């Protein structure tokens, strides 16, 4: 883990820094990233980012963005916006949510896979709350498949966002997921999907469904 100054010194040695899925979730991150990118630009580093949100709309619906207009305007001034229209290919061929297995079926399949983890959904969510999402990668080191029992809908946004972060780590690592309980496309409530984190939740749902497809019995290690 790097401190702020160390991070600036390290990234400042590069000609360009590229950021995928750029977004702002809270005031602390907004202030920090505005300082970081400003410092890099001052050092002559070019910054490129992809995002589903226009720079001047960052943070809308997620926190009191109007209280951080200076930081958001600073970020917006760094970028020249290039809009790329077209379909979201991540959703092409996305399989429907599979019928959930029983707890016993999940446990039996987990026992047949070397390097598998088997967790209760509530216990997993509670454990995620004990560490920063930046450390979730350590949870999946050496893991070949993730098995979860007792999945259900979430009504706590903090829990939901932590699950989104875990889904991102699992997806990037290509680790299959098998679950019992509720269908994975019903985890996030309609109220959540109507809020400021809608794109995050839809992305997480898409990724979880892709990971369950990768976990079909014929493809298990």
Contacts of 89 (CB under 8 A, 6+ apart): none
pLDDT, residue 65, reads 56
51 and 116 part of one domain: no
Nearest Cα to Cα of residue 68 among 38, 24, 25, 30: 30
| DSSP annotation of 97 | P
Element (H, E) at 2: none
What are 151-155's contacts with CB under 8 Å, separation 24+?
Answer: 151/100, 151/121, 151/179, 151/180, 151/181, 151/182, 151/184, 151/187, 152/121, 152/181, 152/182, 152/187, 153/182, 153/186, 153/187, 153/188, 153/189, 154/125, 154/187, 154/188, 154/189, 154/192, 155/189
Helix (H) or strand (E) holding 49: strand 46-49
pLDDT of residue 95: 63
Q: For position 219, what pLDDT does the model report?
A: 47
Q: Are residues 181 and 109 in the same domain?
A: yes
Residue-level pLDDT at 63: 56
**Residue 130 domain-assigned (yes or no):** yes
Rounded mean pLDDT for each run of 10 residues along the chain, 221 residues in total: 86 94 76 89 93 73 60 80 74 69 96 96 97 92 96 93 95 96 93 84 92 69 47
Residue 47: give the domain boundaries: 4-78
Question: Is residue 114 one of the residues assigned to a domain?
Answer: yes
pLDDT at 145: 96
Residues 132 and 206 in one domain: yes
Of 62, 81, 68, nearest in space to 34 by CA: 68
pLDDT the model gives residue 64? 56
Residue 14 lies in a domain: yes
CA angle 205, 82, 48 (to 5 degrees): 75
**207 and 98 in a common domain:** yes
**pTM over the 0.85 mark:** no
Are both 34 and 59 inside the same structural domain?
yes
Whether residues 74 and 102 fall in one domain: no
Domain at 129, CATH number: 3.40.50
- Say which residue the tokens 């019903």 belong to: 186
Question: What is the tally of structural domains in the chain?
Answer: 2
Domain boundary among 78, 111, 142: 78
Residues 194, 146 share a domain: yes
User: Is residue 139 one of the residues assigned to a domain?
Assistant: yes
Are 199 and 99 contained in the same domain? Answer: yes
- Verify that 106 and 167 share a domain, yes or no: yes
For position 218, what pLDDT does the model report? 42
Are 48 and 100 contained in the same domain? no
Exposure pattern of 55-84 as b/e (b: 16+ CB <10 Å)?
bbebbeebbebeebeebbebbeebbeeeee
175 with 198, same domain: the answer is yes
At 66 the pLDDT is 62
- Residue 198 has a pLDDT of 84
Q: State how far the Cα of 47 lies from the Cα of 207, in Å rounded to an integer.
A: 27
pLDDT of 221 reads 47
Query: Which are the contacts of 131, defined by CB distance < 8 A and separation ≥ 6?
Result: none
């Amino acid at each position: 883990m790097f401190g702020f100054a160390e991070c600036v010194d390290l990234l400042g040695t590069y000609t360009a820094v590229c950021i995928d899925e750029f977004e702002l979730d809270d005031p602390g991150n907004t202030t920090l990233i505005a300082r970081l990118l400003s410092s890099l630009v001052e050092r002559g580093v070019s910054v490129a980012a992809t995002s589903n949100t226009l720079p001047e709309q960052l943070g809308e619906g997620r926190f009191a963005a109007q209280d951080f207009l200076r930081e958001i305007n600073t970020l917006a001034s760094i970028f020249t916006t290039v809009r790329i229209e077209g379909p979201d290919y991540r959703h092409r061929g996305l399989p429907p949510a599979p019928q959930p297995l029983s707890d016993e079926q999940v446990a039996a399949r987990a026992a047949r896979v070397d390097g598998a983890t088997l967790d209760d959904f509530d216990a997993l969510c509670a454990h995620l709350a004990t560490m920063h999402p930046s450390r979730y990668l350590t949870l999946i080191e050496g893991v070949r498949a993730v098995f979860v029992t007792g999945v259900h809908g979430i009504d706590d946004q903090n829990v939901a966002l932590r699950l989104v972060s875990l889904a991102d780590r699992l997806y990037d690592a290509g680790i299959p997921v098998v679950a019992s309980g509720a269908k994975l496309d019903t985890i996030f409530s309609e109220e959540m999907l109507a809020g400021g984190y809608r794109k995050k939740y839809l992305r997480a749902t898409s990724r979880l469904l892709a990971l369950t497809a990768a976990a079909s019995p014929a493809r298990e290690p």
